[in-house]
Chains A and B, each alone.
Chain A
């Protein structure tokens, strides 16, 4: 932190809030609200004289509320900048009661109660999101009695209690009687790996944190008995297994089983748990002077704000989604935005530093190149055809369009486009076309596949990243799938326009399959949700027209799911065999009539609005 604070090329804005970020890679306009500290940080020497005279006492968040601070304070010992600030909500100020004690005491005259917040605006080329995480609040898990039983503390509180700079000056005491506990129990996975509370993921850090805590405890107080209740210990990092071993060698007992409930003895204030040790299958009772809940990591509460600022996406666990879990783990789906630390997923210090270094290098590479290579497959807008319906701005996962239907304006930034093709599939006025994977190319492929014996073929639209790759995996593993299935590749299933599906059926296809990535794998944030929506609408239309919806299938297949690809295609072949020649002919007739009706409607519309430009 010190190094960052002193670095000539780094401008550190603390106590600040990013209010707006507009633009795109290389051209982000950032607006920051720099909140005032009421103390001139360039003059303050952090002597602490002001805090000594301040009469206000409030709980100290840094010490987990276990001790107090003053209204004028330094947030924590290593804070950068090393300067005081006033918490104005607690400060008595100079009005209506004249306090002003800190200002009187400060020799350097750094305190100004009338200082105002400042709005700063600047341009940046890239953005790194390192907004961190929150810690799970175990109050909702009533069975553990956190806040009801005072001697149940969280792992964060335990850290402070054991720290030399903590509320008890490093003397480890239990809250009720301020005596040193003789027995301490740790409960793992509190707020992690629990479907019931919507936290099914592993928080990654808690096992090692507890192992470290037990080692610290044993180091300071070898006579304290420590027991850890766990589901399984995840000590997979470099040197971690060694630490785990050392903890066991130091006498810490590891019990595989999680207590159902913590009860308190009202007299001794000791804590009791019943637990099934799954290694011995025995129910055991344990009593402790103090218990530590090893709390998990959760996405920050204010994450939606950051998400909105940068049009980011989240994975089902609530953390930010990276561009690709394996190939682009540092990049956000939008170019020029990177992640570092727990904003993206729970991780320890080492992994956070690794990701932060990678993010800095990724950003630096882009900045020093001075220019960005755009995707070759982007969308092209023909403004003459646009009717300003704003569909494109709704569907584009990257916010490439800004449409004002009232003012009849549209702006399109192709630097933001990643080429999923969803906008082109959704624009009903033909104003959007794709460079590569054009309508003509796709329709030509359908025609070619169905030129001979169409009734024997199945048209399968497959997305580049998942289902097409899944077909490759299937082939690579020498898994056979029916040879009459004809794959048409698109970058994203979002590109599969309704008209491609209808064209295939009109050309006599017995079955059409639209396939793409599973929700979590979608390479274009959430473009495949529009695919599903489109297919669902088509099912409804088919039913209305008297065509069996079963002939249009939607299948999510990942790149690794070669076997799933094979099974899906085999099942579909069986379904194809059941589609009769008469049924196909009937479908062709219905769809041709529907097409004629649409054409007639469009013609009439055009005739009714002669002033409209070509459409």
Chain B
């Protein structure tokens, strides 16, 4: 079982920054806690070395 960890995410709609659970290789529906958008992106600046995109 891949490990689930908290990672930094950023909302592309309202720019809010927050932490969400992240499991490598598992697609998840992510929602911004502030504006409700699903344009939620792994914050690469904070997550240096994070893999590009998730595998399905």
Using a CB–CB cutoff of 8 Å, the interface residues on chain A facing chain B are: 394, 518-519, 526, 529-530, 532-533, 535-537, 539-540, 543, 549-550, 552-556, 564, 567-568, 571-572, 575
Contact = CB atoms under 8 A, between A and B. Distances in A.
Contacts of A539: 12, 41
B56 A530 contact: yes
A540 B37 contact: no
Q: What are the 10 tightest A-B residue pairs by CB atom distance, in nearest-first order? A: A519-B29, A529-B27, A553-B39, A550-B12, A556-B38, A554-B39, A536-B53, A554-B38, A529-B56, A555-B38
Contacts of B39: 535, 550, 552-555
B21 interface: no
A535 B44 CA distance: 16
Contacts of B14: 571
Interface of B: 12-15, 27-29, 35-39, 41, 44, 52-54, 56
Given A535-B39, A536-B53, A537-B53, 4 more contacts: A526-B56, A550-B39, A552-B12, A555-B39
Contacts of A394: 56
B41 A549 contact: yes
Contact of A533 (B12, B35, B36, B53): B53
9 contacts: A518-B29, A519-B29, A529-B27, A533-B27, A549-B41, A553-B13, A554-B38, A556-B29, A568-B36
B10 to A, nearest CB: 10
Contacts of B44: 543
Contacts of B27: 526, 529, 532-533
Contacts of A535: 39
Nearest to A551: B12
B36 A564 contact: yes
Contacts, number: 56
Contacts of B36: 564, 567-568
A539 B56 CA distance: 17
A530 B37 CA distance: 18
Given A532-B27, A571-B13, A553 B37 contact: yes
A199 B52 CA distance: 32
B38 to A, nearest CB: 5
Q: Which of B12, B14, B38 has the most CB of A within 10 A?
A: B38
A536 B29 contact: no
B43 to A, nearest CB: 12
Contact of B37 (A518, A532, A568): A568
A540 B29 CA distance: 18
B9 to A, nearest CB: 12
A549 B53 contact: no
Nearest to B26: A529
Contacts of B52: 537, 540
Contacts of A533: 27, 53-54, 56
A394 B28 CA distance: 18
A539 B53 CA distance: 10
B7 to A, nearest CB: 14
Contacts of A572: 13
A571 B35 contact: yes
Contacts of A529: 27, 56
A535 B39 CA distance: 9
Q: Which of A530, A543, A564, A571 has the most CB of B within 10 A?
A: A571
A564 B35 CA distance: 10
A554 B36 CA distance: 11
Contacts of A530: 56
Contacts of B38: 532, 554-556
Q: Which of B12, B13, B28, B39 has the most CB of A within 10 A?
A: B39
B42 to A, nearest CB: 8
A533 B52 CA distance: 10
Nearest to A316: B29
A575 B13 contact: yes
Nearest to A520: B29
A564 to B, nearest CB: 7
